Structure 1
Amino acid sequence: MRENAGYAVRTSELVKVYGRGAAEVRALDGVSLDVPAGRFTAIMGASGSGKSTLMHLMAGLDTATSGSVLLGGTELSTCGDAELTAVRRTRVGFVFQAFNLLPQLTAEQNMELPARLAGVRPDPAWRDHLVDLLGLRARLAHRPTELSGGQQQRVALARALLTRPDVVFADEPTGNLDTVTGHEVLELLRYSVRELGQTVVMVTHDPVAASFSDEAVLLRDGRLAGSLPSPRPEEVLAALAGLSGSVA
Protein backbone atom coordinates (compact mmCIF):
# COMPACT_ATOMS: atom_id res chain seq x y z
CA MET A 1 0.00 0.00 0.00
CA ARG A 2 1.28 3.48 -0.81
CA GLU A 3 2.36 5.80 1.97
CA ASN A 4 -0.19 8.57 2.50
CA ALA A 5 2.05 11.25 4.04
CA GLY A 6 1.24 14.67 2.63
CA TYR A 7 -2.01 13.55 1.04
CA ALA A 8 -5.52 13.82 2.46
CA VAL A 9 -7.11 11.40 -0.02
CA ARG A 10 -5.62 8.96 -2.51
CA THR A 11 -7.56 6.86 -4.98
CA SER A 12 -6.12 3.92 -6.89
CA GLU A 13 -7.63 2.44 -10.07
CA LEU A 14 -11.08 3.50 -8.92
CA VAL A 15 -13.95 1.97 -10.90
CA LYS A 16 -17.67 2.53 -10.40
CA VAL A 17 -20.23 0.70 -12.51
CA TYR A 18 -23.97 1.22 -12.34
CA GLY A 19 -26.43 -1.28 -13.81
CA ARG A 20 -25.79 -4.48 -15.75
CA GLY A 21 -25.74 -5.72 -19.30
CA ALA A 22 -27.10 -3.27 -21.85
CA ALA A 23 -27.96 -0.83 -19.04
CA GLU A 24 -24.42 -0.79 -17.62
CA VAL A 25 -22.87 2.64 -17.09
CA ARG A 26 -19.17 2.93 -16.23
CA ALA A 27 -19.18 6.18 -14.25
CA LEU A 28 -15.50 5.89 -13.28
CA ASP A 29 -12.92 3.91 -15.21
CA GLY A 30 -9.65 3.45 -13.35
CA VAL A 31 -9.11 6.83 -11.65
CA SER A 32 -5.92 7.22 -9.60
CA LEU A 33 -5.71 10.62 -7.92
CA ASP A 34 -3.68 12.12 -5.08
CA VAL A 35 -5.28 15.03 -3.21
CA PRO A 36 -2.64 17.01 -1.28
CA ALA A 37 -3.38 17.87 2.34
CA GLY A 38 -3.94 21.54 3.11
CA ARG A 39 -4.76 22.43 -0.49
CA PHE A 40 -7.84 23.42 -2.46
CA THR A 41 -8.60 21.00 -5.31
CA ALA A 42 -11.38 21.52 -7.85
CA ILE A 43 -12.81 18.61 -9.85
CA MET A 44 -14.29 19.57 -13.20
CA GLY A 45 -15.80 18.00 -16.27
CA ALA A 46 -18.94 17.90 -18.37
CA SER A 47 -22.19 16.46 -17.07
CA GLY A 48 -21.72 12.70 -16.86
CA SER A 49 -17.92 12.91 -16.66
CA GLY A 50 -17.87 11.21 -13.24
CA LYS A 51 -16.90 14.17 -11.06
CA SER A 52 -19.73 13.80 -8.54
CA THR A 53 -19.27 10.03 -8.44
CA LEU A 54 -15.59 10.52 -7.68
CA MET A 55 -16.37 12.91 -4.84
CA HIS A 56 -18.98 10.57 -3.36
CA LEU A 57 -16.50 7.68 -3.34
CA MET A 58 -13.73 9.79 -1.79
CA ALA A 59 -16.13 10.98 0.92
CA GLY A 60 -17.43 7.53 1.77
CA LEU A 61 -20.94 8.34 0.53
CA ASP A 62 -20.80 5.47 -1.98
CA THR A 63 -18.74 2.32 -2.47
CA ALA A 64 -16.52 1.52 -5.45
CA THR A 65 -16.99 -1.43 -7.78
CA SER A 66 -13.22 -1.92 -7.60
CA GLY A 67 -10.11 0.01 -6.64
CA SER A 68 -9.37 1.77 -3.38
CA VAL A 69 -9.84 5.05 -1.53
CA LEU A 70 -7.45 6.04 1.25
CA LEU A 71 -8.74 8.81 3.51
CA GLY A 72 -5.72 9.64 5.62
CA GLY A 73 -4.58 6.16 6.61
CA THR A 74 -8.04 4.59 6.38
CA GLU A 75 -8.97 2.32 3.49
CA LEU A 76 -12.66 3.08 2.99
CA SER A 77 -13.39 -0.07 0.98
CA THR A 78 -12.69 -2.23 4.05
CA CYS A 79 -14.84 -0.17 6.44
CA GLY A 80 -18.16 -1.48 7.70
CA ASP A 81 -21.28 0.66 7.78
CA ALA A 82 -20.73 1.84 11.37
CA GLU A 83 -17.12 2.83 10.68
CA LEU A 84 -18.09 4.67 7.50
CA THR A 85 -20.77 6.56 9.41
CA ALA A 86 -18.19 7.58 12.02
CA VAL A 87 -15.79 8.70 9.27
CA ARG A 88 -18.46 10.86 7.64
CA ARG A 89 -19.44 12.48 10.94
CA THR A 90 -16.00 13.28 12.31
CA ARG A 91 -13.35 13.15 9.56
CA VAL A 92 -15.26 14.54 6.59
CA GLY A 93 -17.20 17.79 6.18
CA PHE A 94 -19.82 18.47 3.51
CA VAL A 95 -21.05 21.62 1.80
CA PHE A 96 -23.83 21.06 -0.74
CA GLN A 97 -25.48 23.20 -3.38
CA ALA A 98 -28.84 22.87 -1.59
CA PHE A 99 -27.33 23.65 1.86
CA ASN A 100 -28.97 20.54 3.44
CA LEU A 101 -29.98 22.27 6.65
CA LEU A 102 -32.81 20.82 8.74
CA PRO A 103 -35.66 23.37 8.68
CA GLN A 104 -36.85 22.68 12.24
CA LEU A 105 -33.42 23.38 13.76
CA THR A 106 -31.76 26.72 14.41
CA ALA A 107 -28.52 27.73 12.72
CA GLU A 108 -26.63 26.81 15.88
CA GLN A 109 -28.30 23.40 16.12
CA ASN A 110 -27.66 22.68 12.43
CA MET A 111 -24.02 23.66 12.84
CA GLU A 112 -23.50 21.31 15.78
CA LEU A 113 -25.66 18.40 14.58
CA PRO A 114 -23.01 16.08 13.03
CA ALA A 115 -20.72 16.48 16.05
CA ARG A 116 -23.55 15.72 18.46
CA LEU A 117 -24.65 12.68 16.43
CA ALA A 118 -21.06 11.45 16.65
CA GLY A 119 -21.03 12.01 20.41
CA VAL A 120 -18.32 14.66 20.09
CA ARG A 121 -18.41 17.86 22.13
CA PRO A 122 -17.22 20.73 19.91
CA ASP A 123 -14.26 22.72 21.16
CA PRO A 124 -15.94 25.93 22.48
CA ALA A 125 -13.06 28.19 21.41
CA TRP A 126 -13.00 26.73 17.89
CA ARG A 127 -16.77 26.95 17.64
CA ASP A 128 -16.74 30.62 18.65
CA HIS A 129 -13.92 31.34 16.19
CA LEU A 130 -15.94 29.83 13.33
CA VAL A 131 -19.12 31.70 14.35
CA ASP A 132 -17.28 35.02 14.28
CA LEU A 133 -15.23 34.20 11.18
CA LEU A 134 -18.39 33.36 9.24
CA GLY A 135 -20.41 36.28 10.61
CA LEU A 136 -23.08 34.10 12.22
CA ARG A 137 -23.16 35.51 15.76
CA ALA A 138 -26.44 37.37 15.26
CA ARG A 139 -28.04 34.48 13.33
CA LEU A 140 -27.52 31.50 15.63
CA ALA A 141 -31.13 31.42 16.85
CA HIS A 142 -32.60 31.75 13.34
CA ARG A 143 -34.04 28.83 11.39
CA PRO A 144 -33.05 28.26 7.73
CA THR A 145 -36.21 29.92 6.40
CA GLU A 146 -35.15 33.10 8.21
CA LEU A 147 -31.73 33.13 6.57
CA SER A 148 -30.59 34.21 3.11
CA GLY A 149 -28.98 31.67 0.79
CA GLY A 150 -25.53 33.01 1.61
CA GLN A 151 -26.20 32.80 5.35
CA GLN A 152 -27.45 29.23 5.00
CA GLN A 153 -24.28 28.28 3.14
CA ARG A 154 -22.19 29.90 5.88
CA VAL A 155 -24.00 27.73 8.43
CA ALA A 156 -23.26 24.70 6.25
CA LEU A 157 -19.59 25.70 6.08
CA ALA A 158 -19.45 26.14 9.86
CA ARG A 159 -21.00 22.69 10.23
CA ALA A 160 -18.42 21.23 7.85
CA LEU A 161 -15.47 22.81 9.67
CA LEU A 162 -16.61 22.28 13.26
CA THR A 163 -15.03 18.85 13.74
CA ARG A 164 -11.80 19.94 12.01
CA PRO A 165 -12.20 17.20 9.40
CA ASP A 166 -9.52 15.65 7.22
CA VAL A 167 -11.33 16.98 4.15
CA VAL A 168 -14.21 19.32 3.35
CA PHE A 169 -16.07 18.17 0.24
CA ALA A 170 -18.02 20.93 -1.51
CA ASP A 171 -20.49 19.90 -4.22
CA GLU A 172 -21.35 22.91 -6.43
CA PRO A 173 -21.36 25.12 -3.27
CA THR A 174 -22.22 28.31 -5.19
CA GLY A 175 -24.84 26.79 -7.48
CA ASN A 176 -27.81 28.35 -5.63
CA LEU A 177 -26.14 31.68 -4.90
CA ASP A 178 -25.85 34.96 -6.76
CA THR A 179 -22.43 35.96 -8.06
CA VAL A 180 -21.44 38.24 -5.17
CA THR A 181 -22.56 35.81 -2.46
CA GLY A 182 -20.98 32.91 -4.32
CA HIS A 183 -17.64 34.73 -4.37
CA GLU A 184 -17.92 35.33 -0.62
CA VAL A 185 -18.40 31.60 -0.01
CA LEU A 186 -15.44 30.76 -2.27
CA GLU A 187 -13.30 33.30 -0.43
CA LEU A 188 -14.23 31.60 2.84
CA LEU A 189 -13.27 28.19 1.44
CA ARG A 190 -10.01 29.70 0.21
CA TYR A 191 -9.43 31.25 3.65
CA SER A 192 -10.03 27.90 5.38
CA VAL A 193 -7.24 26.40 3.27
CA ARG A 194 -4.80 29.29 3.52
CA GLU A 195 -5.27 30.26 7.17
CA LEU A 196 -6.77 27.17 8.85
CA GLY A 197 -4.82 24.48 6.97
CA GLN A 198 -8.03 22.81 5.79
CA THR A 199 -8.13 20.46 2.78
CA VAL A 200 -10.99 21.27 0.38
CA VAL A 201 -12.19 19.23 -2.58
CA MET A 202 -14.82 21.02 -4.68
CA VAL A 203 -16.88 19.71 -7.57
CA THR A 204 -17.88 22.55 -9.89
CA HIS A 205 -18.77 23.32 -13.48
CA ASP A 206 -17.91 27.01 -13.03
CA PRO A 207 -14.48 28.16 -14.33
CA VAL A 208 -14.56 31.19 -12.03
CA ALA A 209 -15.19 28.99 -8.99
CA ALA A 210 -12.36 26.70 -10.08
CA SER A 211 -10.00 29.68 -10.22
CA PHE A 212 -10.14 29.87 -6.41
CA SER A 213 -8.48 26.45 -6.20
CA ASP A 214 -4.82 25.48 -6.12
CA GLU A 215 -5.41 22.89 -8.84
CA ALA A 216 -8.27 21.93 -11.14
CA VAL A 217 -8.50 18.24 -12.00
CA LEU A 218 -10.31 17.44 -15.25
CA LEU A 219 -12.44 14.35 -15.92
CA ARG A 220 -13.82 13.04 -19.16
CA ASP A 221 -15.95 9.90 -19.53
CA GLY A 222 -14.93 8.62 -16.11
CA ARG A 223 -11.19 9.06 -16.62
CA LEU A 224 -8.63 11.66 -15.66
CA ALA A 225 -8.09 14.08 -18.52
CA GLY A 226 -5.42 16.40 -17.15
CA SER A 227 -5.01 19.08 -14.49
CA LEU A 228 -4.35 22.81 -14.21
CA PRO A 229 -2.23 24.27 -11.39
CA SER A 230 -3.31 27.72 -10.16
CA PRO A 231 -6.05 27.81 -12.81
CA ARG A 232 -7.39 31.01 -14.33
CA PRO A 233 -10.96 31.10 -15.66
CA GLU A 234 -9.88 31.43 -19.29
CA GLU A 235 -7.50 28.47 -18.92
CA VAL A 236 -10.26 26.36 -17.45
CA LEU A 237 -12.64 27.29 -20.28
CA ALA A 238 -10.02 26.35 -22.88
CA ALA A 239 -9.24 23.08 -21.15
CA LEU A 240 -12.92 22.12 -20.92
CA ALA A 241 -13.35 22.92 -24.60
CA GLY A 242 -10.33 20.75 -25.32
CA LEU A 243 -11.90 17.74 -23.61
CA SER A 244 -13.73 17.06 -26.85
CA GLY A 245 -10.37 15.72 -28.06
CA SER A 246 -8.46 12.68 -26.83
CA VAL A 247 -7.97 11.94 -23.13
CA ALA A 248 -4.58 13.04 -21.80
Structure 2
Amino acid sequence: MDVAQFHQAGSLFASIFVIATTTMRTMIPLRVFGIITNIILIVTSVISHTYPTLVLHAILLPLNAYRLHQMLQLVREVKKSVNGDLSMDWLKPFMTERQCESGEVLFYKNEKAEHLYYIVSGRYRLVESGIEIPTGILVGELGMLSPANERTQTLECIEAGMVLSCSYRKVEELYVQNPEFGFYFLRLASARLFQNIERLEQRLAEQGASPPPPARAAS
Protein backbone atom coordinates (compact mmCIF):
# COMPACT_ATOMS: atom_id res chain seq x y z
CA MET A 1 0.00 0.00 0.00
CA ASP A 2 1.51 3.33 -1.10
CA VAL A 3 1.27 6.61 0.80
CA ALA A 4 -1.79 7.84 -1.11
CA GLN A 5 -3.70 4.61 -0.49
CA PHE A 6 -2.72 4.63 3.19
CA HIS A 7 -3.90 8.23 3.48
CA GLN A 8 -7.23 7.35 1.89
CA ALA A 9 -7.69 4.33 4.16
CA GLY A 10 -6.86 6.36 7.27
CA SER A 11 -9.24 9.13 6.26
CA LEU A 12 -11.97 6.55 5.64
CA PHE A 13 -11.56 4.99 9.09
CA ALA A 14 -11.48 8.43 10.72
CA SER A 15 -14.65 9.40 8.86
CA ILE A 16 -16.39 6.26 10.13
CA PHE A 17 -15.52 7.19 13.72
CA VAL A 18 -16.64 10.79 13.21
CA ILE A 19 -20.00 9.58 11.87
CA ALA A 20 -20.31 7.19 14.81
CA THR A 21 -19.88 10.07 17.27
CA THR A 22 -23.01 11.75 15.88
CA THR A 23 -25.09 8.81 17.17
CA MET A 24 -23.76 9.09 20.74
CA ARG A 25 -25.71 10.89 23.45
CA THR A 26 -23.24 10.64 26.32
CA MET A 27 -19.85 12.26 26.76
CA ILE A 28 -17.59 9.35 27.79
CA PRO A 29 -17.99 7.23 24.62
CA LEU A 30 -17.91 10.43 22.58
CA ARG A 31 -14.50 11.32 24.04
CA VAL A 32 -13.22 7.77 23.54
CA PHE A 33 -14.16 7.81 19.87
CA GLY A 34 -12.68 11.30 19.55
CA ILE A 35 -9.37 10.04 20.92
CA ILE A 36 -9.36 7.10 18.50
CA THR A 37 -10.09 9.48 15.59
CA ASN A 38 -7.26 11.79 16.69
CA ILE A 39 -4.77 8.90 16.80
CA ILE A 40 -5.79 7.60 13.36
CA LEU A 41 -5.48 11.01 11.77
CA ILE A 42 -2.15 11.74 13.48
CA VAL A 43 -0.65 8.49 12.15
CA THR A 44 -2.12 9.13 8.70
CA SER A 45 -0.83 12.69 8.65
CA VAL A 46 2.70 11.64 9.64
CA ILE A 47 2.91 9.09 6.81
CA SER A 48 1.33 11.36 4.20
CA HIS A 49 3.12 14.52 5.48
CA THR A 50 -0.19 16.37 5.94
CA TYR A 51 1.17 18.69 8.61
CA PRO A 52 -1.84 21.02 9.20
CA THR A 53 -3.99 17.97 10.02
CA LEU A 54 -1.17 16.60 12.18
CA VAL A 55 -0.94 19.83 14.22
CA LEU A 56 -4.73 20.06 14.65
CA HIS A 57 -5.16 16.55 16.01
CA ALA A 58 -1.97 16.72 18.06
CA ILE A 59 -3.73 19.56 19.92
CA LEU A 60 -7.13 17.84 20.11
CA LEU A 61 -5.77 14.51 21.41
CA PRO A 62 -4.56 15.71 24.84
CA LEU A 63 -7.69 17.89 25.17
CA ASN A 64 -9.99 14.91 24.57
CA ALA A 65 -7.89 12.77 26.91
CA TYR A 66 -8.06 15.40 29.66
CA ARG A 67 -11.85 15.80 29.34
CA LEU A 68 -12.28 12.03 29.44
CA HIS A 69 -10.15 11.86 32.58
CA GLN A 70 -12.26 14.60 34.19
CA MET A 71 -15.52 12.80 33.53
CA LEU A 72 -14.22 9.40 34.70
CA GLN A 73 -12.82 11.03 37.84
CA LEU A 74 -16.17 12.71 38.49
CA VAL A 75 -18.03 9.40 38.29
CA ARG A 76 -15.48 7.70 40.56
CA GLU A 77 -15.76 10.44 43.18
CA VAL A 78 -19.57 10.33 43.17
CA LYS A 79 -19.52 6.54 43.54
CA LYS A 80 -17.09 6.85 46.44
CA SER A 81 -19.31 9.44 48.11
CA VAL A 82 -22.39 7.22 47.81
CA ASN A 83 -20.55 4.26 49.33
CA GLY A 84 -18.62 6.30 51.87
CA ASP A 85 -19.10 9.49 53.87
CA LEU A 86 -21.39 11.32 51.40
CA SER A 87 -18.70 13.91 50.69
CA MET A 88 -19.46 16.43 47.95
CA ASP A 89 -15.86 17.47 47.29
CA TRP A 90 -16.15 16.19 43.72
CA LEU A 91 -18.61 19.00 42.92
CA LYS A 92 -16.30 21.84 44.04
CA PRO A 93 -14.59 22.44 40.66
CA PHE A 94 -18.01 23.29 39.20
CA MET A 95 -19.00 25.75 41.97
CA THR A 96 -18.46 29.46 42.71
CA GLU A 97 -17.68 31.14 46.04
CA ARG A 98 -20.21 33.25 47.93
CA GLN A 99 -19.53 35.17 51.15
CA CYS A 100 -22.42 35.22 53.64
CA GLU A 101 -23.06 37.65 56.52
CA SER A 102 -24.79 36.85 59.80
CA GLY A 103 -28.56 37.24 59.40
CA GLU A 104 -28.44 36.83 55.63
CA VAL A 105 -31.02 34.48 54.13
CA LEU A 106 -29.67 32.34 51.31
CA PHE A 107 -33.12 31.21 50.24
CA TYR A 108 -36.73 31.24 51.48
CA LYS A 109 -39.25 28.44 51.76
CA ASN A 110 -41.47 28.01 48.67
CA GLU A 111 -39.36 30.30 46.48
CA LYS A 112 -38.09 29.08 43.10
CA ALA A 113 -34.94 26.99 43.55
CA GLU A 114 -32.05 27.43 41.12
CA HIS A 115 -28.86 26.69 43.09
CA LEU A 116 -27.50 24.23 45.61
CA TYR A 117 -24.86 25.16 48.21
CA TYR A 118 -21.82 23.54 49.81
CA ILE A 119 -21.05 24.83 53.31
CA VAL A 120 -17.37 25.79 53.64
CA SER A 121 -17.34 27.94 56.78
CA GLY A 122 -19.71 29.75 59.14
CA ARG A 123 -22.98 28.55 60.66
CA TYR A 124 -26.30 28.08 58.89
CA ARG A 125 -29.75 27.01 60.04
CA LEU A 126 -32.87 25.64 58.37
CA VAL A 127 -35.42 27.94 59.97
CA GLU A 128 -38.56 25.78 59.87
CA SER A 129 -36.97 22.62 61.28
CA GLY A 130 -34.35 24.37 63.42
CA ILE A 131 -31.64 22.09 62.06
CA GLU A 132 -28.16 23.62 61.97
CA ILE A 133 -26.13 22.71 58.87
CA PRO A 134 -22.48 21.87 59.65
CA THR A 135 -19.57 22.60 57.35
CA GLY A 136 -18.80 20.14 54.59
CA ILE A 137 -22.48 19.53 53.87
CA LEU A 138 -24.49 20.11 50.70
CA VAL A 139 -27.82 21.89 51.10
CA GLY A 140 -30.50 22.98 48.66
CA GLU A 141 -30.39 19.95 46.38
CA LEU A 142 -33.94 18.89 47.25
CA GLY A 143 -35.34 21.91 45.43
CA MET A 144 -33.95 20.41 42.24
CA LEU A 145 -35.78 17.16 42.85
CA SER A 146 -39.13 18.65 43.92
CA PRO A 147 -41.86 18.67 41.21
CA ALA A 148 -42.23 22.48 41.30
CA ASN A 149 -38.52 23.26 41.91
CA GLU A 150 -39.46 25.07 45.12
CA ARG A 151 -37.55 25.37 48.37
CA THR A 152 -38.83 23.15 51.16
CA GLN A 153 -37.30 25.30 53.95
CA THR A 154 -35.61 28.65 54.59
CA LEU A 155 -31.81 28.70 54.99
CA GLU A 156 -30.36 31.48 57.18
CA CYS A 157 -26.73 32.34 57.93
CA ILE A 158 -26.31 32.73 61.71
CA GLU A 159 -22.53 33.23 61.68
CA ALA A 160 -20.59 34.79 58.80
CA GLY A 161 -18.84 32.38 56.50
CA MET A 162 -18.51 31.16 52.95
CA VAL A 163 -20.46 28.75 50.77
CA LEU A 164 -19.91 27.37 47.28
CA SER A 165 -22.88 27.54 44.93
CA CYS A 166 -23.69 25.50 41.85
CA SER A 167 -26.62 26.08 39.53
CA TYR A 168 -29.07 23.30 38.81
CA ARG A 169 -28.34 23.90 35.12
CA LYS A 170 -24.69 22.89 35.65
CA VAL A 171 -25.78 19.71 37.44
CA GLU A 172 -28.17 18.97 34.58
CA GLU A 173 -25.35 19.47 32.08
CA LEU A 174 -23.22 16.97 33.97
CA TYR A 175 -26.13 14.54 33.95
CA VAL A 176 -26.65 14.91 30.19
CA GLN A 177 -22.94 14.36 29.58
CA ASN A 178 -22.98 11.20 31.66
CA PRO A 179 -26.25 9.60 32.87
CA GLU A 180 -24.25 7.40 35.27
CA PHE A 181 -23.33 10.57 37.16
CA GLY A 182 -27.03 11.45 37.34
CA PHE A 183 -27.87 8.04 38.78
CA TYR A 184 -25.30 8.32 41.54
CA PHE A 185 -26.29 11.94 42.23
CA LEU A 186 -29.88 10.84 42.82
CA ARG A 187 -28.70 8.09 45.15
CA LEU A 188 -26.58 10.61 47.01
CA ALA A 189 -29.45 13.10 47.32
CA SER A 190 -31.77 10.32 48.54
CA ALA A 191 -29.24 9.26 51.17
CA ARG A 192 -29.00 12.87 52.37
CA LEU A 193 -32.80 13.12 52.52
CA PHE A 194 -32.95 10.09 54.81
CA GLN A 195 -30.18 11.60 56.93
CA ASN A 196 -32.19 14.81 57.32
CA ILE A 197 -35.29 12.82 58.31
CA GLU A 198 -33.27 10.92 60.91
CA ARG A 199 -31.84 14.15 62.37
CA LEU A 200 -35.33 15.68 62.54
CA GLU A 201 -36.72 12.61 64.29
CA GLN A 202 -33.86 12.74 66.82
CA ARG A 203 -34.56 16.43 67.43
CA LEU A 204 -38.24 15.76 67.98
CA ALA A 205 -37.40 12.89 70.34
CA GLU A 206 -35.09 15.17 72.36
CA GLN A 207 -37.93 17.68 72.68
CA GLY A 208 -40.24 14.97 73.97
CA ALA A 209 -42.32 14.74 70.80
CA SER A 210 -43.03 11.59 68.89
CA PRO A 211 -41.97 11.68 65.25
CA PRO A 212 -44.76 11.27 62.70
CA PRO A 213 -45.26 7.80 61.27
CA PRO A 214 -43.37 7.21 58.00
CA ALA A 215 -45.41 7.60 54.86
CA ARG A 216 -46.52 4.33 53.37
CA ALA A 217 -44.60 3.63 50.21
CA ALA A 218 -46.59 3.12 47.05
CA SER A 219 -46.50 -0.45 45.86
- What's the TM-score bracket when you normalise by the shorter of the two chains? under 0.3
Q: What TM-score results when the alignment is normalised by the length of structure 1?
A: 0.22
If each structure's helix is expressed as a fraction of its own residues, which one has the higher value?
Answer: 2
Bigger Cα Rg: 2
Q: What TM-score results when the alignment is normalised by the length of structure 2?
A: 0.24
If each structure's strand is expressed as a fraction of its own residues, which one has the higher value?
Answer: 1
